[in-house]
Structure 1
Amino acid sequence: MLVTKEAIAGMIPHTGNMCLLDGVSHWDANSITCVSQTHHDVANPMRINGQLPALSGIEYAAQAMAVHGGLTGLVDEKPKSGYLAGLRDVVCHVSRLDDLEGEMVVDAEQVMGDASLAIYNFSLKVGATAVLQGRATVVLNVTGETA
């Protein structure tokens, strides 16, 4: 593992069980691949009535994007907040995450970005099962102040 869960927790605003990624297996200037088993965790805070909806995968992808920003230097310090400003072309191939066996792989590829805004294509899979894919626009707000 190139980046551990503990290091990830230092790069994103989420703490405790809300830090959903277990590690980073690959990253470069344009992309990141993260892994997680937290979709099996009964204490996952995104569960609703004991189930983890597939759309929760958007949060996994958003965290991968935040980690990528930290690793590439797009974000200089741990952000206090970030905003998912838009989603496009989101397709869910399954309805739930908690019933999928195996490790989740979260891929994100930066299409464009600077210190205030980034656009990523993302996809999630568990084993050979495609889970979710789409494009996200993220507004970065390192200071926590609004413009």
Structure 2
Amino acid sequence: MLSEGASGLAPGIPPTPPLLDGAAVRRLVPHRGAMCLLDAIAAWDGVRIAALALSHRDPRNPLRRAGALPAICGVEYALQAMAAHGALRASGRAQPAGFLSSLRGVEIAAERLDDLPGPLLVTAEALAAEARGFIYRFAVEGGGRRLLAGQAAIILPGE
């Protein structure tokens, strides 16, 4: 069951209005300033999250290279959605930054992200959750199509 007020995580259809705005997202992820790429959480439950981002259109996006934002940068958007999901599952407490240990089955269907109108829809689904890490399936959509998808394993730092 999705959180109260969410209209679901249907592919390509972001629920409105967002459940959490950019200020709330910034409290959930370990990223600061321009590196906080997500603008809203549209929906979430114990397994999935859907986030919205507009930062792909910002010329000051710190991931841009030679004036463009390569589609592979969508992985960072997905990782931030995963971090927000972890914090939401921990009652809204930001968690320590994790480390990307592997990417699998990554499919890229676009060259770049910055030329897409409208928001990016970033979804992630927890496939496995352990005390020391997670495995998520993720997707980034925009302009009515899937741009990037794959699976990521995250290792959490020891105490």
**TM-score, reference length from structure 1:** 0.91
What's the counterpart of residue 64 of structure 1?
81
What's the counterpart of residue 50 of structure 1?
67
What's the counterpart of residue 106 of structure 1?
122
What's the counterpart of residue 127 of structure 1?
143
What's the counterpart of residue 52 of structure 2?
35
Matched, 1:96 2:107: no
Matched, 1:13 2:63: no
Q: 1:72-108 CA distances to partner (integer Å, 9 max, x unpaired)?
A: 12x8742342101100000100010001111100010
In the comparison of the two structures, how many residue pairs are matched?
142
What's the counterpart of residue 87 of structure 1?
103
1:127 Cα deviation (Å)?
2.9
SS of 1:51's equivalent in the other structure is coil
Kindly provide the amino acid, as one letter, of the partner of residue 105 in structure 2: D
| Structure 1: gaps of 5 or more residues | none
Question: Which structure carries more strand by proportion?
Answer: 1
2:127/2:137 contact within 8 Å kept: yes
Q: 1:30-66 CA distances to partner (integer Å, 9 max, x unpaired)?
A: 1000001110000100000110000000000000000
Residue identity over aligned pairs, in percent, reads: 39
User: Which of 43, 48, 51 pairs up with 1:26?
Assistant: 43
Measured in 2, the distance between the counterparts of 1:32 and 1:80 equals 19
SS of 1:65's equivalent in the other structure is helix
| Structure 2: gaps of 5 or more residues | 1-17
Measured in 2, the distance between the counterparts of 1:102 and 1:78 equals 28
**TM-score, reference length from structure 2:** 0.84
What's the counterpart of residue 153 of structure 2?
137
Measured in 2, the distance between the counterparts of 1:120 and 1:103 equals 22
Measured in 1, the distance between the counterparts of 2:81 and 2:131 equals 16
Kindly provide the amino acid, as one letter, of the partner of residue 130 in structure 1: R
